[in-house]
Amino acid sequence: MAFHYPNGRKYVPAEKRTLEKRKRKNPSYGKRGMTLEDDINDSNQYYLDRGIAVIHKKPTPVQIVQVDYPARSAAVIKEAYFKQASTTDYNGIYKGKYIDFEAKETKNTTSFPFNNFHLHQIEHMRNIIKQRGICFVILRFSTTDELFLLEAKELLVFWERMENGGRKSMTKDEVIEKGHRIILGFQPRIDYIKILDNIYQLDSST
């Protein structure tokens, strides 16, 4: 089955692209490394399995454009397009608090460009903050494999600076100053709940 982006470009899973690229560089490459999405999904599963939090990745909306019916009782999707998501990637609940966040990464080593974000995502974050939900972004500098949790309220300050004619990115120094560094672990791989406990003084002992 063929999936396409809204602009018509064929979809290739990130993990497949990464694997093929590394195989070209190193023929002996095995299954090493994971995407940011994989790491977050595994961390969320860790939280779920231990009754810590219930947080899931939102399904990407799909528009089906071609379906074959080889039998009366069966349908086979032949071609579909990903629609542009209208909100953020993840949401759920932790200690009675609504959690909503987006995960982004860049190869840039000195700044995080705003072209990684869409206006509708920014508006969604504003709405979550208005309702007193916990909203943030997880940012990854992929070249150095550094991760940060940045509260949405801080992201919005930089976004509004751009809207007022300022730079179209956050510098890495700004992310370091306003964000919270995430140290990669084993279980969970990305322990962002621990950081939320520190920021919002949430009790994680129960």
pLDDT in tens, 156-194: 999 999 999 999 999 999 999 999 999 999 999 999 999
Q: How far apart are CA 44 and CA 189, in angstroms?
A: 9
What is the mean predicted confidence (pLDDT) over 98-109?
A: 96
Q: Is the pLDDT of residue 47 over 80?
A: yes
Closest among 179, 189, 130 to 154, alpha carbons compared = 179
Predicted TM-score (pTM) of this structure: 0.75
What DSSP state is assigned to residue 201? Answer: T
What DSSP state is assigned to residue 47? Answer: H
What is the mean predicted confidence (pLDDT) over 120-135?
A: 96
| Region of residue 51 (phi > 0: left; psi between -120 and 50: alpha; otherwise: beta) | left
Q: How far apart are CA 87 and CA 132, in angstroms?
A: 17
What is the mean predicted confidence (pLDDT) over 80-89?
A: 67
Q: What is the pLDDT of residue 77?
A: 67
Q: What is the pLDDT of residue 75?
A: 72
| DSSP track, 153-179 | HHHHHHHHHHHTT--SEEEHHHHHHHS
